[in-house]
Amino acid sequence: MATKSVIDDAREVRRASDLIELGARLQLVESETKLSRERLLRLYKEIRGVSPPKGMLPFSIDWFTTWMPNIHSSLFLGIYQNLIQGSELDEVVAITKAYRLYLEQCATQEQEVALSVTRAWRLVKFVDAGMLRTIPCTRCGGHFVVRTDDLHDGFVCGLCHMPSRAGKKNAVPVVGEAKLTRVH
């Protein structure tokens, strides 16, 4: 009878804890660890204080190609790919480390976090499956997430060519900016 390694079990619990702390859905944690569903439910409740949300995981490559999600996804994927190429980290550890670095970058730029860890994990899976990839922008040279099966000659990213309504949902007047009023 083979005995379970206490060290391997602790490693799995640490991996699950890291994912749960970052807000991962239970299905993600379940697929990336060897822990039983019952243990994961207990761990989730202990860490988050509530039962895990129910429902399906996001499954659409279209979300990653829209303007703001594309910028955030491309940032995360760039961080992730650099970690994978420059280290011996396994995929899940690299995702958690890359996601923490992504969160730090959003905090320093005072940006809203657009990418959840579950979507970041799904993004890596889509890239691994060949559904998404990155290509360089012809203007700035940054690498951005695109659909693999689309044509990309002369690709210009969403930062170099912003949509006309980009960033207008939470428009706050700049301090000291004069408001123009129309007189009839």
Name the nearest CA neighbour of 153 among 138, 168, 166: 138
Q: Parse the chain into domains and list their residue ranges.
A: 10-48, 62-147
Q: 117-147, pLDDT tens digit by residue?
A: 999 999 999 999 999 999 999 999 999 999 9
What is the pLDDT, as a whole number, of residue 162? 87
What is the pLDDT, as a whole number, of residue 167? 61
Kindly report the average pLDDT of the chain as a whole number.
Answer: 87
Q: List beta partners, residue 146.
A: 133
Taking a C-beta distance cutoff of 8 angstroms, is the pair 32, 25 a contact? no
| Topology adopted by domain 62-147 | Arc Repressor Mutant, subunit A (1.10.10)
Name the nearest CA neighbour of 100 among 121, 119, 76, 69: 76
What is the pLDDT, as a whole number, of residue 110? 80
Query: What does the alpha-carbon distance between residue 98 and residue 91 come to, in Å, rounded to a whole number?
Result: 10
Residue 174, CB half-sphere, CA atoms under 13 Å: how many?
A: 3
Mean pLDDT of 94-114: 91
Name the nearest CA neighbour of 124 among 64, 77, 70: 77
- In the predicted structure, residue 184 carries a pLDDT above the cut 70: no
What is the pLDDT, as a whole number, of residue 174? 38
Query: 152 falls in which pLDDT band (50, 70, 90)?
Result: confident
- In the predicted structure, residue 28 carries a pLDDT above the cut 50: yes
Query: 169 falls in which pLDDT band (50, 70, 90)?
Result: low
- In the predicted structure, residue 20 carries a pLDDT above the cut 60: yes
Q: Whole-prediction pTM value?
A: 0.84
Q: 29-88, pLDDT tens digit by residue?
A: 999 999 999 999 999 999 999 999 888 877 889 999 999 999 999 999 999 999 999 899
